[in-house]
Amino acid sequence: MSWDSNMDDGLIESLVESIKARKINGRAWDESVWEPAKNVVFNKSHKVVRKSHMKSRLRTLQKELKGFNELLNKSRFGWDYMKKTVTASAACWDELLSDKKVVDKYKSFRFRDPKWNLDNLTMISGTNYATGNYSIGRVDTEDIDDVFCPDMSGLVDEDKHLEDIEENPSVPLTDSTRKRLAHVPPLEK
């Protein structure tokens, strides 16, 4: 079966929704994801696909993503998120593509962006590759709340803590409260 970009978009979109609905366990998809995925692919492309077609296409997309990530990890290659292109000099590309073993793996990324939504396919593949403008520690901070929601209830209010220290000298000092106390005039009673 020949896949087009509409079919890829439908499959990826449906699998992203399945991840949000927690229908994946490690790398194993819940069986309930495939029927809705077939419907989304059909609605976007008017082509009927089977579960085996979708699984095969997903493996192909993951293989392309792996090659793309390997390319970006090579010295002198990068990713321009705004332009959605691989950045490297012509000499770097020529040197890389002179190796016949890697031509098929990387040549498609020289003159065009990836065929798929990088962020969504990365999510589906389970690889951690943050590419956003606010990427920190391989997590895009724009979506940080979806990834890490810490319990803030145990945090100390430093202003209240300073008052406690002044009233009770047995309260332990932290480095940050020592620094703040150095600049705080004593309270008048």
Q: Are 16 and 121 in contact (CB under 8 A)?
A: no
Distance CA 131, CA 126 (A): 15
Q: Which residues pair with 87 in a beta bridge?
A: 78
Distance CA 84, CA 117 (A): 10
Distance CA 143, CA 52 (A): 32
> What pLDDT, on the 0 to 100 scale, is given for residue 27?
79
Q: Are 130 and 108 in contact (CB under 8 A)?
A: no
> What pLDDT, on the 0 to 100 scale, is given for residue 131?
46
> Does the CA dihedral 139-16-43-56 come out positive or negative?
positive
pLDDT along the chain (189 residues), means of 10: 90 93 87 95 95 94 90 90 87 93 88 78 72 44 44 54 59 57 59
Q: Are 111 and 7 in contact (CB under 8 A)?
A: no
> What pLDDT, on the 0 to 100 scale, is given for residue 31?
93
